[in-house]
Amino acid sequence: MQAKENSLLENEGKVKGWIIAISIIIPLAVAVLIFMPSKINLGAEWVYFLPHLNAVMNTAATFALIAGFVFIKKGNVPYHRASMTVAFVLGAIFLVSYVIYHAAAESTSFGGEGSIRGIYFFLLITHIILAAVALFPILFAYYYGYTDQRVKHRKVVKFAYPIWLYVTVTGVIVYLMISPYYLH
């Protein structure tokens, strides 16, 4: 692993360029897929299971994030790294699943009324905005942690961690609030 870390450090400028590019391209691609006029026909009903799977992955990512926080507070760096890697991998799988679902299925409208409607849209809008912004600091935090640049890692994590945790938690809450309105 040390050779990989050294190689990444030698190419840090390129890595940062990739992180910036990915942090811009992915939210734009997701927006295009959500708002495109016609959906991609994947020929199966299986895509309607994906929101449920996404909620499970977000829940698991939340637990991994909390575990990572607890482990680093106890000074257990190996378990912290493992927990954060689990959260990172779950986030990546979630993103692929989310993109597939929104490329193939129409968005579901929230049917709640009254004050719950305002709460739902507040959570949804803050979730969407922070999810779009979160990728940038998360990728940098993961990179700095992976390459053992602890000072830089700590600086970025001050922003990345609370945003990431908020996004995973609100993702589950939004899912629970809208799930009764799914058609499939």
Whether 6 has a pLDDT exceeding 80, the answer reads no
Taking only the tens place, the pLDDT of each residue in 29-84 is 888 877 777 777 777 788 888 999 999 999 999 999 999 999 999 999 999 999 99
Domains and CATH numbers, the chain: 2-181 (1.20.120)
Taking only the tens place, the pLDDT of each residue in 162-184 is 999 999 999 999 999 998 887 65
What integer pLDDT is reported at residue 48 of this predicted model?
A: 85
What integer pLDDT is reported at residue 1 of this predicted model?
A: 58
- Report CA torsion sign: 125, 126, 132, 133: positive
| Confidence (pTM) | 0.86
Nearest Cα residue to 83 out of 12, 9, 3, 145: 145
Whether 5 has a pLDDT exceeding 60, the answer reads no
Q: Helix/strand/coil (H, E, C) string of 6-44?
A: HHHHHCHHHHHHHHHHHHHHHHHHHHHHHHCCCCCCCCC
DSSP 131-171: HHHHHHHHHHHHHHHHTT-HHHHHHHHHHHHHHHHHHHHHH
Taking only the tens place, the pLDDT of each residue in 110-166 is 888 999 999 999 999 999 999 999 999 999 999 999 999 999 999 999 999 999 999
